[in-house]
Amino acid sequence: MKNSFSRRSFLKTSALASGGMIIGFNLFNACKPDVKPSIDLSKLNYNDFNAFIKISPEGKVTLFSPNPEIGQGVKTSMPMIIAEELEVAWDDVYVVQAPLDTKNYTRQLAGGSQSIRHGWIALRQTGATAKQMLVNAAAAKWGVDASECKVSEGVITNTKGETLGYGDVVTEAAALEVPEEVTLKDPKDFKIIGKGKGNVDIDKITIGKPLFGIDYKEVGMLYASVLRPPAFGQVLESFDASKAKAMPGVVDVITIGEKARTILNEKPNWTVQLSKSNKVVVLGKTTWDAIKGKKAINAVWKEDSKLESTEYHDQVLMDLLNGNKFNTRRKDGNVKQAFAEADKVIERVYESPFLPHNTMEPMNFFADVTPEKVRLVGPVQTPEPAAKVVSEMLGRDLEDISVEMTRMGGGFGRRLYGDFVYEAAEISDKIGKPVKMISTREDDMTTGVYRPSTKYKIAASIKNGKLTGYHLKEAAINGNMYGLIPNFFPAGALENYQVDTANYKSNITTGAWRAPYTNFLASAEQSFFDELAEELGVDRVRLHMDLLDKVKQNPEPKIEYSPERLQGVLKLAVEKSNWGSAPEGIYQGLSVYYCHNTHVAEIANVAMENGIPVVKKVTCAIDCGILVNPLGAMNQAKGGVLDGIGHAMYSDFGFQNGVPKSNNFNTYQLIRMAQTPKVEVHFIESDIDPTGLGEPTLPPVGAAVANAIYKATGKRLTKQPYSLNMNVESSIIG
Amino acid sequence: MPTFTLKINKKKYVVEADADTPLLWVLRDHIELVGTKFGCGIGQCGACTVHTDGEASRSCLIQVSQAEDMEITTIEGLSENGDHPVQQAWKEIDVPQCGYCQAGQIMTASAFLNQNPSPSNEEIRSAMNGNICRCASYNSIEEAVKVASEKLS
């Protein structure tokens, strides 16, 4: 395919002093459909780029991967896409995490399962352009037409059979004009894309090399442990540090918070997480010195705002669901009238708790604030906003600030928020020394940015054996469903359809958690449809297929899910799971869902063991377009399913007078191996551009499990975590 | 501060630390063997698993003063060239997602397979149950332990 779209706006090449060639490209601007490409090349400079490929005279290819790696696999899959079009051997590619340098890079982030979707064309164009320039250089050297040359694994061959490696022509290539048009490969000719490639960091991971933020160390660095308010709604009144200061490993005890508070007051609309309280910081020679010192601090806290409890949140959310303080987010037809005219109206309430992220690597960050510069190193999903806040907080030019991203021991949304970066920066600024702030698990779990507790009330009307109306109400803490979620299924399938949302502002910090809102909305909706199918006396699959047929007849731009693709994954899951003909003793539950641009159907198999429902297997069918890295995709898909089961079944979190009820893994349950079913994943074969997989397999699984448990036990589950609300002893094993 | 002599990965180290310092932090901060990871500090997650006299142990629960007579192996010392059958299996199956917990998983699996080289699936699931993987790469871990056991037997 010929492709000239916006290529000039995001690509630039230049020769390196060392003889190689470097190609800069702007991943984000190039592929955002709403950004008009600039056509004035002279206005472009390297400030516009956020990623680079370097080709050395030896022919080695280095790719500076722009997006932070949180376990979603982009450090492997994004370079694969470039290597494919560049026509190099995968083994010759070396991948390096690019740092954030506000002077040279822009818009680097990880979130929303969007890296592959946004990067797809841009990465291919980048590789193809570089390849074309190298071929053009070789053709000029030989005095032949570039179209007569072929390339394979970094070696260019002409019709006489003469060969030149990329390294042989890279110096000349760098001096050439960027070609006006490049040809992208036909997907059927892909050699790297679609072939499973292992994690690029696997050698380092399996021998324990330093990779993560918590592993980062500099000479003279101090370790900082931060004492934050034990309850949401409390602030520091006073503290006694005499015992801590007497400890041989404790270097100093300070307070921070003043600078952060100034920013919070000046910029109340900033969506950053900054506590109003001062915090006590113990600086130690080692992590243990700092942690031990913190335990010796005697602090007094005072109430600053309401100390909220789970019972209170439950009441507030139920009041909202039963009240009339809603924002209507989508309204088709007249739900009220449909309900009034119905033979029957079914209404259910679904409830979910707060959830901490619990990344395995607790929050931590390195900061070195000196009069000359501010160096920040560590795991953060959003380095650019972090640098901006630090610049404001410390009154420093943005140019003085650099952020280096380490590999992250998980994100799940937690590392979108830069609170730990600001703390590290404020500490280093105050003591004038390089410092590493490290949270303990208790700090991490009790001073988090939680998935907000959310409740849904769903009602549907039935007349003459048909579904006539659907009304979804959401009550959530602090925020509500965003973007196009109100236009997700069953929007478009029903004449009378309405989505209303309401929220309660709490002082508990909340934020994005893997697949925000849909992580529970899918459980609610797909459990509800199971009940509807039963009530209507129609097969669950048939009901869905028919509703999706109706969507096909009424296309509209706001409905971004594809009814055809949802039907496709549903059919595939049904076929692969033996839906409807499972062996005796196996109870199956189904769920089908679209989010983050990917279509997924899941079927859970549950068996009763010693009177307890146990999930034995999940069959998962996915349509994410072209599969870039099947190995990485499989990992994301399986991980998402098991993570989804774990949180739907076992994880519970709440508050008592502002204090989190759990603070470590002895009281908070994460799913463990003995609780995991086998996950079988099937991908739809597709030539449609790829979409992401970091999130989409998680939301549907809760309902697949709940629907299967219903068949096994006759009990409908509406409140998560299900294991605590099943009226059976427990499904927890081990 | 008192000093302690430790035997780690067949080398001797003398460290100066409070007697109650967990072995985990001695490894990470004093000796700079950072492959052993901090996850919970209370022996619940397994990220800090090392071998002490061949047994899988939680280094966050062992005080440095208790560790002097132990033969300690960390992920860095599991094999000369990163090619222990368990490490090989981890690469073949491409287990890691974020990768943070995997050193602990590998150390638990290698100690377990040393005692039980041909385990059943149920034995694997039970032996690995103490190690949390927040990315939930459990299917892959289970498969990799199986592959490693085939390499060992």
Q: What are phi and psi of B22, to 5 degrees?
A: -65, 140
Work out the minimum CA distance from A198 to partner chain B, whole angstroms. Answer: 6
Q: Is A351 helix (H, G, I), strand (E, B) or coil?
A: strand
Q: If one looks up domain A326-354+450-724 in CATH, what number appears?
A: 3.30.365.10
**How deeply is A309 buried, as exposed, middle or buried, from its count of CB atoms within 10 A (0-12, 13-18, 19+)?**
middle
With a cut of 80, say whether residue A67 has pLDDT above it: no
Q: Which two tokens stand for residue A658?
A: 């502002």
User: What does pTM read for this prediction?
Assistant: 0.92
Q: What is the mean pLDDT of residues A665-691?
A: 96
Which of A10-19, A132-141, A196-205, B103-112 is least confident? A10-19
What's the whole-number average pLDDT of chain A? 89
Average pLDDT, chain B: 97
Please report, for chain A, the start and end positions of each structural domain, with discontinuous segments joined by +: 2-207, 213-305+363-438, 326-354+450-724
Model confidence at A527, in pLDDT bands (50, 70, 90)?
Answer: very high
Mean pLDDT of B97-126: 97
Q: Which fold has domain A213-305+363-438?
A: Aldehyde Oxidoreductase; domain 4 (3.30.365)
Query: Token digits for B120?
Result: 């059943």
Provide the pLDDT for residue A489.
96
pLDDT at A26: 54
**Looking up tokens 């050193």, which residue turns up?**
B103
Confidence class of residue B83 from pLDDT cuts 50, 70 and 90? very high
Where are the alpha helices (H) located in A347-407, listed in sequence order?
383-394
Beta carbons of A671 and B28 less than 8 Å apart: no
pLDDT at A125: 85
What does the pLDDT read at residue A269? 57
- CB of A224 closer than 8 Å to CB of A291: no
Q: A401-410, A656-665, A679-688: which range is least confident on average? A: A401-410
A202 at interface of B, judged by CB pairs closer than 8 A: yes
Top-confidence residue, A410 or A57: A410
- Rounded Cα–Cα distance for residues A276 and A260 (Å): 8
Res A731: pLDDT: 45
The pLDDT score that the predictor gives to residue A33 is 35
Phi first, then psi: give them for residue A376, nearest 5 degrees. -125, 130
In this prediction, residue A46 carries a pLDDT of 36
Mean pLDDT calculated for residue range A644-661: 97
How many residues appear in chain A? 734
Per-residue pLDDT, averaged over A206-218, amounts to 95
Q: What pLDDT is stored for residue A733 in this prediction?
A: 41
Nearest to B99 by CA among B16, B37, B153: B37
pLDDT average, residue stretch A295-306:
97
Any bridge partners for residue A473, and if so which? A457, A500
A381 at B interface, C-beta within 8 A: no
> Could you say which residues from 255 to 294 on chain A have a Cβ atom under 8 Å away from some Cβ of chain B?
286-289, 292
pLDDT at A271: 53
Q: Which residue of A has its CA nearest to B100?
A: A409
Instruction: Evaluate the omega torsion of the peptide bond into residue A490 and state whether it is cis, within 30 degrees of 0.
Output: yes
Q: CB-based contacts of A218: which residues, under 8 Å, 6+ apart?
A: A366, A368, A434
- Asked if residue A441 has pLDDT above 90, the reply is yes
Q: What is the pLDDT of residues B24-55, one digit of tens each?
A: 999 999 999 999 999 999 999 999 999 999 99
Q: What pLDDT shows up at residue A305?
A: 94
Q: Region A226-237: what's the mean pLDDT?
A: 96
For domain B3-77, the CATH architecture is Roll (3.10)
CATH number for the domain running over B85-152: 1.10.150.120
pLDDT(A141) > 70: yes
* Mean per-residue pLDDT, A485-513: 96
What per-residue confidence (pLDDT) applies to A35? 34
| pLDDT tens track for A85-95 | 999 988 888 88
Mean pLDDT of A702-707: 98
CB pairs under 8 A between A and B: 190
Domain A2-207 and domain A213-305+363-438 have a common topology? yes
Does residue B138 sit at the A interface (CB-CB below 8 Å)?
yes
Which chain B residues contact residue A409 at CB under 8 A?
A: 37, 98-101
Q: Concatenated DSSP letters for A299-346?
A: EEEEE-S----HHHHHHHHHHHHHSS--EEEEEES-HHHHHHT-SEEE
Which residues, in sequence order, are CB contacts of B119 under 8 Å at separation 6+?
B112, B113, B127, B145, B149
Which regions of A80-137 does DSSP assign to beta strands (E)?
Answer: 93-97, 100-101
Is the pLDDT at A28 greater than 60, yes or no? no
Delimit the CATH 1.10.150.120 region(s) of chain B: 85-152
Distance of CA A392 to the CA centre of its chain: 27
Residue A430 phi, psi (nearest 5): -75, -40
Let me know if domain A2-207 sits in CATH 3.30.365.10: yes
Confidence of residue A8 (pLDDT cuts 50, 70, 90): very low
Output the CA angle A199-A201-A204, nearest 5 degrees.
135
What is the arithmetic mean of pLDDT over A34-55? 45
pLDDT in tens, A553-567: 988 889 999 999 999
CB A54 within 8 A of CB A94: no
In contact, A698 and B76? CB cutoff 8 Å: no
CA angle (A423 as vertex; A417, A425 as ends), nearest 5:
110
For A456-476, write each residue's pLDDT tens digit. 999 999 999 999 999 999 999
Give which of B135, B142, B146, B147 to mutate to test A binding, by max A Cβ within 10 Å: B135
In the numeric block, the tokens 């992208």 are attached to: A184
* Interface contact A666, partner B, CB < 8 A: yes
Mean pLDDT score, A408-435: 95
- A102 pLDDT more than 80: no
